[in-house]
Amino acid sequence: METIRFDYLKTFLIVAKTRSFSVAAKELNLTQGAVSHHIAALEEYFDAEFIKRAANGVDPTDAGAILAQAAEKILAEVKQAKVEISSIKHKLAGIIRIDASTIPGEHIIPSLVAEFQKLYPDVKLKIKAEDSINSLQDLLTGSVDFAAVGTLNGYWDKVDAIEVGEEELVLIVPNNHELAKRKSVKVIEFLKYPYINREETSGTRKEIEQILGKAEIPPSRLKTTLELGSTESVMTAVSEGRGVSIISSIASRKAQAAGLVKVLRIEGVDSCRKLYIARTKKPLVKVSEAFWEFCKKYVKEKGTV
């Protein structure tokens, strides 16, 4: 072989990292035979052995460790070159990764992304559903470029954010519940009923705890009988009569319109919360910077949801 391919270097790095041909093949969406071929081609080119069998997988040889260092530098340089070449062309291209919690992900991000891609059709956006806290953690670790979330509690000093929406948190009860004929309720009044909560990393749950704090009520006063991982599952459980819950007013409209639950406002406390798109405080690559500036302009022109 007279030349080497960049994708062969990437394959080698994944094998070295995962210590497995089969895991690397799955991660790269290749056959195990193709992965073996890539490694064999590199070994032929350099006339060296790069991978050796180990008791619990495979390990890079000393020569493999040298190649791994060089491959990382080469691929990083190629990636940077792609960014710079893209920037000198008069079209924006690249990938933007976003974690989005339920309400921003379902009610804000789709229309915002659609408008952005009208301007930049060559930009691909990868959006993953995740709760607010895990979204923010992914953002800080660099797993994603942006996080669309329903809370920034504990993260105000770690990220920059744009307010893209505002909503009210409301109480939902089963249709045959004794509170169902009410239009509003005080916090103290629903503490005696079985309560369906979101998971600990949910932005909605963090905001609910703040609402209780404003009423000087510890979250432990809630008679939590069930914890669920999504707003949809909470609405279903309430509609089945398994308890009451506090959820997004945006999400509750659909459930009430379908006749699944009754919605009550919460009296005596400010139950409004804001929705955000967050980024790290580090400089952004060109494609991400364009998306950030677009979000600011979008909110300025169209207002928050």
Do 174 and 267 lie in one domain? The reply is yes
Whether the pLDDT of residue 73 is over 90: the answer is yes
Amino acid occupying residue 215: A
Tell me the average pLDDT across 202-213: 87
Q: Which of 13-17, 53-57, 164-168, 252-256 has the lowest mean pLDDT?
A: 53-57
Q: Read off the pTM.
A: 0.61
What is the SS3 string spanning 115-136?
A: HHHHHCCCEEEEEEECCHHHHH
Cα dihedral sign, 275-280-284-285: negative
Determine, yes or no, domain membership for 1: no
Do 280 and 158 lie in one domain? The reply is yes
pLDDT tens by residue, 21-38: 999 999 999 999 999 999
Q: How far apart are CA 151 and CA 161, in angstroms?
A: 11
Q: Domain count for the chain, please give it.
A: 3
Residues 6+ apart with CB under 8 A from 130: 99, 100, 101, 138
- Which of 229, 228, 18, 218 lies closest to 134, judged by CA? 229
Which CATH number characterizes residue 155's domain? 3.40.190.10
Tokens read off for 72: 């990382």
Tokens read off for 294: 């677009």
Across the chain, mean pLDDT equals: 90
Question: Which residue range forms the structural domain that includes residue 288?
Answer: 94-164+274-302
Q: How far apart are CA 237 and CA 233, in angstroms?
A: 6
In the chain, at which residue ranges do the beta strands (DSSP E only) sit? Answer: 51-54, 57-60, 94-100, 123-129, 146-149, 159-174, 184-186, 194-198, 223-228, 245-248, 261-267, 272-280
Amino acid occupying residue 33: G
Do 181 and 260 lie in one domain? The reply is yes
pLDDT tens by residue, 135-175: 999 999 999 999 999 889 889 999 999 999 888 899 999 99
Determine, yes or no, domain membership for 229: yes
Q: How far apart are CA 224 and CA 203, in angstroms?
A: 17
Q: How far apart are CA 127 and CA 301, in angstroms?
A: 24
Whether the pLDDT of residue 88 is over 70: the answer is no
Whether the pLDDT of residue 90 is over 60: the answer is no
For 63-88, b where at least 16 C-beta lie within 10 A, e where not — what string?
Answer: ebeebbeebeeeeeeeeeeeeeebee
Do 254 and 177 lie in one domain? The reply is yes
Q: How far apart are CA 224 and CA 293, in angstroms?
A: 42
β-bridge pairing 245-248 and 159-174? antiparallel
> Among 60, 88, 116, which residue terminates a domain?
88
Do 44 and 54 lie in one domain? The reply is yes
